[in-house]
Structure 1
Amino acid sequence: MPILQWLTRDEDTRAVRSVPYRLLQEESALSCGDPDAANMLIHGDNLDALKALLPFYAGRVKCIYIDPPYNTRSAFEHYDDNLEHSKWLAMMWPRLELLRDLLAEDGSIWVSIDDNEVHYLKVIMDEVFGRKNFTSTIVWQKRIGPDSRAILGAAHDYIVVYSKNLEAFKATANKIPLREDQIAEFQNPDNDPRGPWTSSSNFSAQGFRKNQMYKIVTPGGAEYYPPEGRCWVTIESEYFRLLKEGRMWFGRDGRGMPRKKTYLKEREGQATWSWWSNSEVGHTQESKKEIIALFGASNTFDTPKPERLIQRILHIATNPGELVLDSFLGSGTTAAVAHKMGRHYIGIEMGDHAVTHCAPRLQKVIEGEQGGISKSVNWQGGGGFRFYRLGPPVFDEDGHVREDIRFPTLAAHVWFSETNAPWKGKGKSPFLGHHDGKGYALLYNGILGDRRPDGGNVLTRSTLQIIREAAAKKAPTFDGPLTIYGEQSRLGPTTLARENITFKQTPYDVRARR
């Protein structure tokens, strides 16, 4: 597969390894609403924030939407958008790598972009996500009229879509609702008890199949054979079944060409295509009006996205309760729409507007704000989010865990370093769980009592018994090898071998995963 070369490519494609795992520290004064709502707003550099999320959310995010700087060589109030191509690529590559690792197997990533970088973006996303997982390039009609300042004014932006696994995504993606004008096409001229219907204008298919080349006699006596070079779409027995069930239509006089009925109640929606008009999903003027309504005319973003556009994406890619991530949150549109649609979300924003715009906007949503898509989804308010800032690194410069790290944080890193999967555990059980036939346990920070040798941080016969009892409660059928992290072990090599235990010392044997 062809790859894209740029000045600092070798350095940039290895950049993720040098990004530290940082703590996420809640600032409760900026959190709002229900603290158990599982929604996060993170203020800080998104590269560091994405790395910090890995031990907890790797492989769990159903939909990622990002609207990165477009590299348009113009200055924005809230962004420095004037980057050379190589600098833009250096910024995007490591972030795309981390976003890929956070994405669920049936998840998808949607990236807004314009003509300046769309082709470069496509090539590096082919490499990061695999060309076979390219899903679509959507053309969004962002304007309602031509730009009088340009000879050929840009009427559109792109949304480049990739899946973690294309087949898995296709199996779970949702169709979009029918428009009102489409619903109006469904009629019931024959008083069919199944309700309104529409009919396909062509009951034939291209090609020749011998068992689909039969004569059809209509109720009015007209006779039809397939048109030249075509055959009927079904075999004859299937046609007679449809006819018996009243699912065929031959016009009001019963002599028209055969047509198959499709009932409104059977249409859960329609598949979308790659052209999204502004009448369907909104435009830039609509999005600016939404921002002005929220923050006032003197406090707006230059390139916000309309809530209807994000609603379309989240409807296709997610279901209620699933997790959405936006690591270039901007004014907070993705988080606001996800909140109103009943999705969980993580929003990351490095600018001060994480505090001045995003948090206040989400607070308004919780209070029942009625702009954007609120009325269409019957939004009445509720829920909550927790506000976080990036804290110090989890590991020191030698790659060892810092001694003041709390148990849940270290447990997540132990689990992630051993399994390459996020830790979903809660509480204070020393047995973290089992993965691929192996069990993992952590004795740390007084988890079983105190720091004395016979307390909770040292592996002894008594603490081993507690671990075994905890494992029996969490995984009654597990009987595999066990890796135990602790301050030290009082069990000798013979005992460890007999018990099928690998002991690793904390903090020295817990290292940052590169």
Structure 2
Amino acid sequence: MNIEKLDLKSPDLVNENFEKLATLFPNCVTEGAEGKAIDFDLLKQELSHAVVEGNKERYRLEWPGKREAIVTANLPTTKTLRPVREDSVDFDNTENLYIEGDNLEVLKLLQESYLGKIKIIYIDPPYNTGKDFVYKDNFSKDAQEELIDSGQKDEYNQRLIANPETAGRYHSDWLSMMYPRLKLARNLLTDDGVIFISIDDNEVHHLRKVCDEILGEYNFVAQFIHKNNSNKNQANLVSVSCEYFLCYSRDLEVLNKEIWRIEKKGAKDIVKAFNQLKKQGLELDEVLDEIKDLYKRPKYAHLSRWNKIDEKGVFMDDNLSREGGAKDYTIINPDTGKPCPIPPRGWAKSKVELEKLREDNMIYFGDPSTPPRIKSYLTGEDLSVPDSFWYIDNSIDTRWQKQTFNSLIFENPKPLELIRLIMEMSSAKDSIILDFFSGSATSAHATFQLNTEDLGKRKFIQVQLPEFTNEKSEAYKAGYKNICEIGKERIRRAAKKIKEETKADIDYGFRVYRLDSSNMQDVYYKPQDYDQNNLDLFGDNVKSDRTADDLLAQVMLDWGLPLSLKIEQIDVSGKKVFKVAENSLYACFDSGIDEDFAKAIAQDEPLRIVFKDNGFKNDTAKTNVKQLLKQLSPETEMKVI
């Protein structure tokens, strides 16, 4: 039996007064550096009939930590990406990437290699429901202090913190997390690129303000509404069943030169239903009643305009007029035998065209007192401008999970069809698609699926922090200790299943990279600290646990080359050489580089070549190799690490 305990302390009058003011003046409650606070300047104004002079007013979104968020985006990183071949599929040939690590630092590492190259960014960040975790980005503290302060507990340098609704900086922490990531993401978009961001009611209004600031209010494309078949919040007043995804362009003027089209989803089903019902011998009115019953289902509601029927199929009546059209002729209504009324704006067709349409039974006469209209039949091949309201049945994804994994190993994944539709309407066949809150890797799965449909060569980049799975979750019980393990396995299984079912010849592989500290030694000694015992530290500036694969990845990033480029390994004069994208980059990290090697490698005339600084046979060889490359392959740019 629980018995309430005495508080044994006096009332907190400050908190009581705060709550009273918050009740009277909710607009004066804000977030400060220490948590929730009262905006006293605004309170003064609320208590005065005259304008109270104060801080200069401006139209913008402010929060505690915004300046630090801007600084965070601009700070360089010393980290690198290390390849994980054992987790990859077809590493040397695939152009798809899966990157494990903090997405902020990964975005910084991608700035040169993918600047202006990403056509679509799709992200599904934490919704800030009070139960989500957000990143705590604080680069001003030393590593150990940050480790303790942010509650990190694994080798992946996680910086996730709980963000309950009761937190004094509930909105501020979330905004500080999103701001630098969006700022860096914008740099990666092509001129006609777009970013889609999934979000719910908790932060959609703030997210729009942040996107207006970073991407430009004038680059706003749409706020799509996603209606699913699950109710997330069974509240007393409203059961929430909609989410949103905001869409912004890099440059709307450039994007407007494109035409977005998608298939009329469900149209094939309606056409199939029409044909089946006709075969059953039903009257046309009965067939139409059955079709209208289908339209009552959310999946087909968007097709309800096709609400008429004849022997040819289901149709809607469309406009036959245009401004400034002809008004000096008409056609005869076969039902009345009288001339049809002329549209007030005039006909959009010539008299010959009108007569031909009438002969082909392509005109809907309807009410004899109104101008006739043209029949527009529903077909399974129709394309349409995408609507801003989408209904996606996410029970399909639940069934796929159960079939593929025998359990629900990832919770609340985005519907595969939703992401596929986004890609269908806004990508080209060779687009790069980035998702830096990858989760269960739905966007990678969708990329495979769409590529099989149109034999496209879209490439994905997935970025995900390896967050631990809950020990009570189905994923943990199935052996998946972190989210990255789930994402990678989903990609493997989805690729295998799609390949078996479609036999499509597309890229089913992916390269795995993992964020880590620099490959270079961190050795800092004052001159007086040197002694014979530590001189060997300078013999090799590369950390002892790093491989040639690790070094190649860092070189590609530093040189601004995409990590998706084809990598080959060849033998030149007995040394292992990495050959990236034909002759775009040669890299050799073996020791004993000399003049004979330089002569052999110069025959291929690589655009770039890199060695380890201590990889030369001696200082003389280092000088001679550089001179030989200048003479024998003058276009080759040589560097060392």
Q: Distance in 2 between matches of 1:366 and 1:33?
A: 12
Kindly tell me the number of residue pairs found equivalent between the two proteins.
Answer: 440
1:361 to 487, 490, 495: 490
What code does the residue aligned with 1:87 have? Answer: D
Q: Distance in 1 between matches of 2:491 and 2:609?
A: 39
Q: Is residue 2:321 matched to residue 1:204?
A: yes
Q: Distance in 1 between matches of 2:182 and 2:522?
A: 25
The answer on whether the counterparts of 1:282 and 1:309 sit within 8 Å (CA) in structure 2 is no
| CA gap 1:212/1:48 in 2 versus in 1, 3 angstroms | same
**SS of residue matched to 2:414:** coil
Q: Is residue 2:337 matched to residue 1:250?
A: no
The answer on whether the counterparts of 2:189 and 2:250 sit within 8 Å (CA) in structure 1 is yes
Q: Using the aligned pairs only, state the percent identity.
A: 24
| CA gap 1:46/1:465 in 2 versus in 1, 3 angstroms | same
Q: Is residue 2:80 matched to residue 1:23?
A: yes
In the alignment, which residue of structure 2 is the partner of 1:311?
A: 420
In the alignment, which residue of structure 2 is the partner of 1:464?
A: 630
The answer on whether the counterparts of 2:95 and 2:564 sit within 8 Å (CA) in structure 1 is no
Q: What pairs up with 1:58-207 in 2 under 5 angstroms?
A: 58-74=115-131, 82=163, 84-144=170-230, 147-170=233-256, 171=258, 173-180=260-267, 183=271, 198=315, 200-205=317-322
In the alignment, which residue of structure 2 is the partner of 1:387?
A: 512
In the alignment, which residue of structure 1 is the partner of 2:432?
A: 323
| CA gap 1:446/1:466 in 2 versus in 1, 3 angstroms | farther
Q: Is residue 2:388 matched to residue 1:271?
A: no
Q: Which structure is larger by alpha-carbon Rg, 1 or 2?
A: 2
Q: Distance in 1 between matches of 2:423 and 2:557?
A: 29
Q: Distance in 2 between matches of 1:33 and 1:430?
A: 20
In the alignment, which residue of structure 1 is the partner of 2:461?
A: 346
Q: Distance in 1 between matches of 2:352 and 2:380?
A: 21
Q: What pairs up with 1:321-470 in 2 under 5 angstroms?
A: 321-342=430-451, 343-350=458-465, 351-352=467-468, 353-368=482-497, 383-393=508-518, 404=542, 406=551, 409-410=554-555, 412-414=557-559, 426-428=581-583, 444-445=610-611, 450=616, 462-468=628-634
**SS of residue matched to 1:367:** helix
Q: What pairs up with 1:494-505 in 2 under 5 angstroms?
A: none
CA deviation string 1:449-472 (max 9, x = no partner): 9576676777966533445356xx
Unaligned runs of 5+ in 2: 1-57, 134-157, 165-169, 275-305, 452-457, 469-481, 524-539, 543-549, 566-579, 588-605
In the alignment, which residue of structure 1 is the partner of 2:47?
A: none
CA offset at residue 27 of structure 1?
1.2
What code does the residue aligned with 1:131 have? Answer: E
The answer on whether the counterparts of 2:225 and 2:242 sit within 8 Å (CA) in structure 1 is yes
The answer on whether the counterparts of 1:115 and 1:157 sit within 8 Å (CA) in structure 2 is yes
Q: Is residue 2:389 matched to residue 1:282?
A: no
The answer on whether the counterparts of 1:215 and 1:224 sit within 8 Å (CA) in structure 2 is no
Unaligned runs of 5+ in 1: 433-439, 471-483, 487-505, 508-514
The answer on whether the counterparts of 2:365 and 2:371 sit within 8 Å (CA) in structure 1 is no
In the alignment, which residue of structure 2 is the partner of 1:511?
A: none
In the alignment, which residue of structure 1 is the partner of 2:332?
A: 218
Q: Distance in 2 between matches of 1:369 and 1:431?
A: 35
The answer on whether the counterparts of 1:25 and 1:389 sit within 8 Å (CA) in structure 2 is yes
The answer on whether the counterparts of 2:363 and 2:372 sit within 8 Å (CA) in structure 1 is yes
The answer on whether the counterparts of 1:446 and 1:455 sit within 8 Å (CA) in structure 2 is no
CA offset at residue 15 of structure 1?
1.0
CA offset at residue 378 of structure 1?
8.1
**SS of residue matched to 2:222:** strand
CA deviation string 1:16-64 (max 9, x = no partner): 2224153221111211246412111111111111222222222222211
| CA gap 1:331/1:145 in 2 versus in 1, 3 angstroms | closer
| CA gap 1:177/1:319 in 2 versus in 1, 3 angstroms | farther
CA offset at residue 199 of structure 1?
5.8
**SS of residue matched to 1:308:** helix
**SS of residue matched to 2:387:** coil
The answer on whether the counterparts of 2:108 and 2:184 sit within 8 Å (CA) in structure 1 is yes
| CA gap 1:141/1:457 in 2 versus in 1, 3 angstroms | farther
CA offset at residue 295 of structure 1?
4.1
The answer on whether the counterparts of 2:234 and 2:240 sit within 8 Å (CA) in structure 1 is no
CA offset at residue 87 of structure 1?
0.7
CA offset at residue 381 of structure 1?
9.5
* CA RMSD of superposed structures (Å): 4.4
What code does the residue aligned with 2:497 have? Answer: G
**Worse-matched range after superposition: 113-122 or 48-57:** 48-57
**SS of residue matched to 1:109:** strand
In the alignment, which residue of structure 1 is the partner of 2:11?
A: none
In the alignment, which residue of structure 1 is the partner of 2:143?
A: none
Q: Is residue 2:108 matched to residue 1:48?
A: no
In the alignment, which residue of structure 2 is the partner of 1:437?
A: none
**SS of residue matched to 1:56:** coil
Structure 2-normalised TM-score?
0.58
CA offset at residue 325 of structure 1?
1.3
| CA gap 1:469/1:359 in 2 versus in 1, 3 angstroms | closer
Q: Distance in 2 between matches of 1:152 and 1:146?
A: 10
Q: Distance in 2 between matches of 1:199 and 1:149?
A: 39
The answer on whether the counterparts of 1:23 and 1:393 sit within 8 Å (CA) in structure 2 is yes
The answer on whether the counterparts of 2:85 and 2:91 sit within 8 Å (CA) in structure 1 is no
